[in-house]
């Protein structure tokens, strides 16, 4: 098992971006036949933050989300800088798009993981009942549950707004969530996935040509000995963590993943990896769906059977913050 050194948040050169500037550039960047829109407005610290989207009609839709964590800048900036190219790529293949480029705008501007109210928008799409009357936001590996339910109106503002917005549209064929890992030092890549892992292997391999893939490693910061998340021997994680990716697999979305570059990865490389996966997911949506008999189920069990306790200290002292939360 590889040991990964953890420490302070990686330095991001573009850590401070005014959201108003981002929103203006976003609106100006979305080309026809796509259109930009605002699906809700949240109020944080007395200011209004519009929640931005892009839609491109098409019979088979790909959803791309980014910016759940405000200090993970690569996803929102990749989508802003490459909106025209992404729209052209999808339109040429007859694929529709719904892009939500900056899900947590107040956190984005403040460069904080959570929103300015301290709510945690990432892992609150689903709740699992693990024993009668006991509900959890995520499951440990292999943990049984009796019910799973959407969080509904009681979740973080941004999560509630996005869930409502997604409910107005068709169930996508593929859904990709762009993240970064600022817990792990160095340049790395790994991915949370559901469904047929074979679909993702070419994308993982191309990403691995740009930065090393984090394999057979504990990813989560772990004060909870049973709560760690493991990247398997390929660099994949299958985790029922209540995230939008988990929600999409519950909704029956064929291809759904959350990808992670470390924040120390140079921004142009992180952007290129994001684009590899965005184009790849558009390609998957454009291709005929595989026959059910040929699809392999998601791997539900931990691959490495390795060490269950991470001896490295949690980064956020005094509070257990799961890497995905």
Whole-number minimum distance, CB 267 to Zn ion, in Å? Answer: 16
> What is the 3-state composition of the chain as percent helix, strand, coil, each rounded to the nearest 5?
30, 25, 50
CA distances in angstroms from 148 to 14, 181, 301, listed in the order given: 38, 27, 19
The strand pair at 255-262 and 174-181 is best described as parallel
Among 6, 157, 179, 279, indicate the residue that binds Zn ion (CB under 5 A): 179
Whole-number minimum distance, CB 67 to Zn ion, in Å? Answer: 9
Counting Cβ atoms within 10 Å, is residue 153 exposed (0-12), middle (13-18) or buried (19+)?
exposed
Whole-number minimum distance, CB 182 to Zn ion, in Å? Answer: 8
- Report the residue number, 69 or 157, with the smaller CB distance to Zn ion: 69
With b for 16 or more beta-carbon neighbours within 10 A and e for fewer, the 295-307 pattern comes to eeeeeeebbeeee
279 is an interface residue for Zn ion by CB under 5 A: no
Whole-number minimum distance, CB 204 to Zn ion, in Å? Answer: 18
- Report the residue number, 78 or 254, with the smaller CB distance to Zn ion: 78
- Report the residue number, 36 or 207, with the smaller CB distance to Zn ion: 207
Whole-number minimum distance, CB 103 to Zn ion, in Å? Answer: 10
**Residues 51 to 90: which contact Zn ion by CB under 5 A?**
69, 72
Q: Cβ–Cβ contacts within 10 Å for residue 232, how many?
A: 20
- Report the residue number, 68 or 255, with the smaller CB distance to Zn ion: 68
Of the candidates 298, 107, 101, 125, the one whose C-alpha atom is nearest the C-alpha of residue 196 is 298
- Report the residue number, 72 or 158, with the smaller CB distance to Zn ion: 72
Q: Which residues lie near Zn ion (CB under 5 A)?
A: 69, 72, 179
């Amino acid at each position: 098992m590889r040991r990964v050194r953890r420490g302070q948040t990686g330095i991001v050169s573009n850590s401070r971006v005014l959201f108003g500037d981002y929103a203006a550039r976003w609106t100006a960047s979305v080309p026809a036949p796509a259109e930009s829109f605002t699906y809700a407005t949240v109020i944080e610290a007395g200011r209004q933050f519009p929640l931005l989207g892009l839609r491109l009609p098409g019979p088979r839709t790909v959803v791309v989300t980014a910016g759940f964590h405000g200090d993970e800048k690569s996803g929102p900036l990749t989508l802003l800088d490459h909106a025209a190219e992404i729209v052209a790529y999808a339109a040429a293949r007859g694929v529709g798009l719904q892009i939500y480029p900056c899900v947590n705008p107040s956190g984005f501007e403040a460069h904080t993981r959570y929103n300015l109210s301290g709510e945690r928008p990432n892992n609150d799409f689903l709740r699992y009942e693990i024993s009668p009357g006991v509900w959890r936001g995520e499951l440990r590996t292999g943990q049984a549950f009796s019910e799973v339910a959407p969080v509904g109106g009681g979740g973080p503002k941004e999560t509630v707004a996005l869930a409502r917005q997604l409910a107005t549209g068709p169930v996508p064929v593929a859904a990709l969530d762009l993240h970064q890992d600022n817990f792990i030092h160095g340049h790395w890549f790994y991915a949370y996935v559901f469904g047929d892992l074979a679909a993702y292997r070419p994308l993982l391999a191309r990403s691995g040509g740009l930065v090393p893939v984090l394999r057979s490693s504990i990813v989560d910061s772990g004060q909870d000995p049973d709560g760690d998340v493991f990247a398997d021997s390929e660099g994949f994680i299958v985790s029922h963590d209540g995230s939008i990716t988990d929600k999409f697999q519950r909704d029956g979305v064929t291809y759904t993943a959350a990808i992670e570059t470390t924040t120390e990865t140079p921004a142009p490389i992180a952007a290129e990896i994001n684009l590899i996966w965005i184009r790849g997911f558009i390609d998957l949506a454009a291709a005929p769906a595989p026959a059910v008999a040929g699809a392999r189920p998601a791997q539900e069990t931990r691959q490495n059977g390795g060490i269950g306790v991470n001896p490295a200290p949690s980064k956020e002292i005094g509070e257990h913050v799961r890497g995905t939360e």
